[in-house]
Structure 1
Amino acid sequence: MKTGLFILVAGLLCVLLNDSLLYLQIRRYLRKRIYTCLFWAHSLFFMACIFVYHFFIPTLKGPEAYFWVGKGVSVILLFYTPKTLYIIINAFAILLRKLKCIPAARIISRTALGIALFSFLVIFYGITWGRCNYKIERQQVCIKELPDNFNGYRIVQLTDLHLGSYGEHYPGIKKLVEEVNALNPDLIVFTGDMVNSFASEMNPWIDQLKELKAKYGVYSSTGNHDYGTYVRWATREEQADNLKQFFKNMEAAGFHMLNNTNVPLVIGTDTIYLAGVENCGRPPFPCFGNLPQALQGTEGHTVILLSHDPSHWRDEVIRYPVALMLAGHTHAMQIGIQIGSFRWSPSKYIYPEYNGLYETNGHQLYVSRGEGYLGFAGRIGQRPEITLIELTNNCK
């Protein structure tokens, strides 16, 4: 209750402070009373929305809470990020005017307006078309010990769908299935966070997800959100039933769960193993994984491991004979810059391995930024990813 009240007060103060500073900077353009009234009506509208959200969201006991929170966060960012950028940059223009540097002040003022408009358009794209504008990341992974029959083996990795974040008319899942199947993969793997908390989030999408096809099967491990630990359940039994239903839904959608287990992948006389651990992350994230159990019986073979949280790689996995670990979890924070080989996201300051391929002492990790979203209902500069991994033993 205290946290909710803090968010309410902080939200109202941020909107009021932001709009007050903006008004002081642009009031000379609002000389007509109608313009001033419209400006403050806009501000009051957002404060009213924050107030309504404070009382509305706690009444939602199901997956729709995530949907509405995401929409609210996105709309606030859409309007108040440009405003904040304008206020900060335009402050320099105001200072230059006081110093009688009028030409420079005009340039900076126009620059502030241009940056604000650009940021609005970028965020708008991110919460509309950008959220399901999938990018196929093609990554060749060299494993010296890989059996010859697996040379060129193609794995599609999916992760972090967070199905409860979408409305029922979301086009992204159908598009995802079509794009994955068009790649004609040998294997499809999913590395956790299919849902936000509730097994029922899968219900609208099961029929579409079971259309995913791969020659050697579709497999999955669990992520931290799949256990429903972010919800206050009436009883422990209710939470346990939710998890049981989640596994039933995954099976209905065609996913073979690897819960601290492994499965052999056989081509001709050659065998490699696909292993999967339950979520294992650093606090506050839960750790249900049992890596030794997951690797039991794989000795002497190439092992590919599904583990949701990339921090598990350095914490434990690199001490075991795992050639390649596939992870997700970070979303690359759904915001950043990616131009060619240059990548940056605030996520790097939390997860040293947050996006792409990493290697240390012969152990490799690939972290996908995933296909879905949580909190902010979109993507900015970090397109949702379909990963196509091609295995090879031709190491240069």
Structure 2
Amino acid sequence: MRSFQILYILFFIIFYLLLAGGSIKNLTVIFLQNKKRLLKRLLWFLNVIIILGFISLYIYPNQPRNATNYPIYFYFNAILFTIFIFNIPNALAFVLHWFFEKKSIIISLAGFVISAGLGISLLYGVVIGKQNLTVKEVTLTYRNLPKNFDNYRIVQFSDLHIGGMLKSNTILNKTKTKFERMDPDLLLFTGDLVNNFQTETNGFLPVLKDMGDLSLSYSTLGNHDYGDYTDWDSPEEKLSNLEGIISVLNETGFTLLENQHTVIKKGNDSIFLVGVENWGHPPFPQYANLEKALQGVPEEAFTILMTHDPAHWESQVKGKKSIELTLSGHTHGLQWGLKPAGISFSLACLTSKYWGGLYRNGASVLYVNTGLGTIGIPWRLDMQPEITVFTLKRGEID
């Protein structure tokens, strides 16, 4: 397995350098005709530095699975991917230059303009897009909603990945301010507080506690909260880390539901809130025990389920369980999307059928929140960090 990984890495490096070479040649067709040598040297120096950084972080002496400095990795990934994407149209334009010599300057300029547009868009996603917090309002109507829960307001947020935020307090304080204005009846966090380590929460407990103290607050764990994506010295160390994350959630006022349910009362009426551990299609862990969590929940009860990965709803809830509303996160909407003609689209659909927004199966509803934080690359391109506000209505289903 290791040899295949090395081959993939070598292939990427070779492909990257070939693209860089083509891109540099295209740029020298357009700019600094009398200083081509200097321009080439500067551009090659930049690309070689990027490759050396890639080798240092991903091959030797560092390994991503052992990393704790997530912002360094995430922002390096952003630089690497931006330059990689910038090089593609430029390199293609130079290849076309060979075939259409008389129009070479037009082709070269077109390649540069496309490259520049893509590069600026990606940088926008890093600098502004990931801070552009959006609130989505969703109204849901149910025949069996208890009378006292008519107009009940539930706020969901998900996927903080707090250790990967360069300016964590910025987005967290924005989020807290939004929560204060919303004054929700119920505040739900659907997992992935961290990337791997409990220590990522250091310094952020006060703002998290301010959130948890605003209303009745509950949470579940996400796949990253278990520490499955790093190498531990012992199982005991991994367990201690998980216990630390659970302790943080409890300390900040969020009651953690681990394959459990609780009763939410309002006047003489009640609904049931169920929370399970993470369950996803392999290779994601499957810790959830929905049967255990539902024990004692009456069949006719109005039930809300918190489960981090929407794959769980697809596999074990849809058409099988009498659960009115399921709330998930996990996908991030791939942190990139388009909205042609008002229709949301993301390449996340290639890996997850239910990747963002509202889905129905009869009276059962799934909502997938696209998260607040980022993973892998710290950008959001038309897939803003999200808070979702649900208003429950009693009446006929729309």
Shift of 1:71: 1.4
Shift of 1:106: 5.4
More deviation, 205-214/362-371: 205-214
Name the structure 2 match of 1:118: 117
What SS is found at the alignment partner of 1:113?
helix
For 1:302 and 1:114, the matched residues in 2 are separated by: 55
Correspondence 1:219-230 to 2 at 5 A: 219-230=218-229
What SS is found at the alignment partner of 1:391?
strand
Q: Deviations over 1:209-236 (max 9, x none)?
A: 1111576511001111111111111111
Name the structure 1 match of 2:25: 24
Shift of 1:82: 1.7
Name the structure 1 match of 2:68: 63
Are the equivalent residues in 1 in contact too, given 2:65–2:231 (CA < 8 A)?
no
Shift of 1:80: 2.0
Kindly provide the amino acid, as one letter, of the partner of residue 330 in structure 2: H
Normalising to structure 1: TM-score of the pair? 0.92
For 2:312 and 2:362, the matched residues in 1 are separated by: 16
Are the equivalent residues in 2 in contact too, given 1:152–1:392 (CA < 8 A)?
yes
Are the equivalent residues in 2 in contact too, given 1:181–1:213 (CA < 8 A)?
no
For 2:237 and 2:138, the matched residues in 1 are separated by: 41
Change in CA separation of 1:310 and 1:76 when aligned onto 2, cut-off 3 Å = same
For 2:20 and 2:175, the matched residues in 1 are separated by: 40
For 1:311 and 1:89, the matched residues in 2 are separated by: 42
Q: Does 1:218 align with 2:223?
A: no
For 1:44 and 1:285, the matched residues in 2 are separated by: 35
Change in CA separation of 1:165 and 1:230 when aligned onto 2, cut-off 3 Å = same
For 1:214 and 1:391, the matched residues in 2 are separated by: 22
Name the structure 2 match of 1:386: 387
Q: Does 1:37 align with 2:41?
A: yes
For 2:7 and 2:187, the matched residues in 1 are separated by: 43
Are the equivalent residues in 2 in contact too, given 1:335–1:379 (CA < 8 A)?
yes
Q: Deviations over 1:107-152 (max 9, x none)?
A: 5543332221121111111111211211111111222211121111
What SS is found at the alignment partner of 1:117?
helix
Shift of 1:9: 2.6
Kindly provide the amino acid, as one letter, of the partner of residue 313 in structure 1: W
Q: Does 1:361 align with 2:344?
A: no
Name the structure 1 match of 2:344: 343
Normalising to structure 2: TM-score of the pair? 0.91
What SS is found at the alignment partner of 1:193?
coil
Change in CA separation of 1:92 and 1:152 when aligned onto 2, cut-off 3 Å = farther
Correspondence 1:11-160 to 2 at 5 A: 11-28=12-29, 29=31, 30-32=33-35, 33-53=37-57, 54-58=59-63, 61=66, 63-64=68-69, 66-88=70-92, 91-92=95-96, 95=99, 97-98=100-101, 100=102, 102=103, 108-160=107-159
Kindly provide the amino acid, as one letter, of the partner of residue 234 in structure 2: T
For 1:260 and 1:366, the matched residues in 2 are separated by: 19
For 1:89 and 1:357, the matched residues in 2 are separated by: 41
For 1:47 and 1:39, the matched residues in 2 are separated by: 13
For 2:180 and 2:94, the matched residues in 1 are separated by: 49
Name the structure 2 match of 1:316: 316
Name the structure 2 match of 1:329: 330
Q: Deviations over 1:133-174 (max 9, x none)?
A: 111111112222111211111111111111111236652212
Change in CA separation of 1:7 and 1:198 when aligned onto 2, cut-off 3 Å = farther
Shift of 1:294: 1.1
Q: Deviations over 1:289-325 (max 9, x none)?
A: 1111111222121000000110111211121110010
Unaligned 5+ segments in structure 1 are none
Are the equivalent residues in 2 in contact too, given 1:226–1:243 (CA < 8 A)?
yes
Name the structure 1 match of 2:242: 243
For 1:213 and 1:238, the matched residues in 2 are separated by: 27
| Percentage identity across paired residues of the two chains | 29
Count of aligned pairs between the two proteins: 390
Q: Deviations over 1:40-85 (max 9, x none)?
A: 2222222222233233433984532x32221111111222212213
For 2:252 and 2:194, the matched residues in 1 are separated by: 13
Are the equivalent residues in 2 in contact too, given 1:210–1:253 (CA < 8 A)?
yes
For 1:89 and 1:362, the matched residues in 2 are separated by: 53
Are the equivalent residues in 1 in contact too, given 2:313–2:366 (CA < 8 A)?
yes
Unaligned 5+ segments in structure 2 are none
For 1:336 and 1:179, the matched residues in 2 are separated by: 24
Q: Does 1:282 align with 2:278?
A: no
Change in CA separation of 1:326 and 1:214 when aligned onto 2, cut-off 3 Å = farther
